[in-house]
Structure 1
Amino acid sequence: MSDPDHRERMTQLEERIARLKGKDVPAKPHQEEHYSQAHLAWRMVIELVVGLLIGFGIGFGLDSLMGTLPVFLVLFTLLGLAAGIKTMMRSAQEIQQQAGEAAQEDTPKGAKDKEGR
């Protein structure tokens, strides 16, 4: 089963695969950027929804334990909304900082921006 011809063909195949993997395939930056932007948008939406759901769950749990009207439900849902918005804003700030750092890396050292800085 392990004849020399078979081993030689397998070795050649492995070399060919290694060469093909080593070649640089030109990337399509527009599609990667689009995927990145969609990923960031979904991240922000999920952060907001999770904040709402956690607040809703805590409020509902407290209301059911204490036998109260949906006072805690409303209160904690609003607190969850505020927490989700705060987390979403923090993510947006992080994204802006990363974009600013990337823009600074792309700018040549002697070049000035539009405002002449």
Structure 2
Amino acid sequence: MSEDDQRQRLAQLEEKLAARRKAQEPEPKQQDMHSQAQLAWRMVMELVAGLGIGFGMGYGLDALFGTKPIFMIVFTFFGFAAGIKTMLRSAEEVRQASEASLDGAVDMPDDDKDEDDAPRKG
């Protein structure tokens, strides 16, 4: 095979690989107002669930041991702390996901550039 023939086959192979990679790229997620509202409701529900579970456990322990509302108050505070912790964990997950999507958008190759002029990543 001649050198020109090999270059031509290599160029065709690179075009096929580029087309296949482009077809397999995930589409960027676009967050809209609804997803932000869902996130807000999720966080509110996590806080309310923590408060409710803490209140229920405290009330149950008070009923079991015959004490006044001491366990109910203590476990309500524990539930509040657990709800806040869960909300912060959810917010951190969202932050990491948004940073990952931004990093993916920034690192996208520019198709307008000539491939011969661009440095190759190895």
Q: Distance in 2 between matches of 1:80 and 1:95?
A: 23
In the TM superposition, 1:1-117 aligns within 5 A as 33-108=32-107
Q: Could you say which structure has the higher helix fraction?
A: 1
Q: Which runs of 5+ in 1 are unaligned?
A: 1-28, 111-117
Kindly tell me the number of residue pairs found equivalent between the two proteins. 81
Q: Deviations over 1:11-49 (max 9, x none)?
A: xxxxxxxxxxxxxxxxxx5xx510110010000000000
Q: What letter is aligned with 2:35?
A: S
Match of 2:117 in 1: none
Q: Structure 1 vs Structure 2: percent identity of aligned residues?
A: 52
Classify the secondary structure of the residue corresponding to 1:58.
Answer: helix
Q: Point out 4+ residue stretches in structure 1 off by more than 3 angstroms.
A: none
Distance 1:94 1:39 in 2: 14
Letter matched to residue 82 of structure 1 = A
State the secondary structure of the residue aligned to 1:68: coil
1:41 & 1:53 partners in 2: Cα distance? 18
Provide TM-score, normalisation by structure 2.
Answer: 0.63
TM-score normalised over the length of structure 1: 0.65
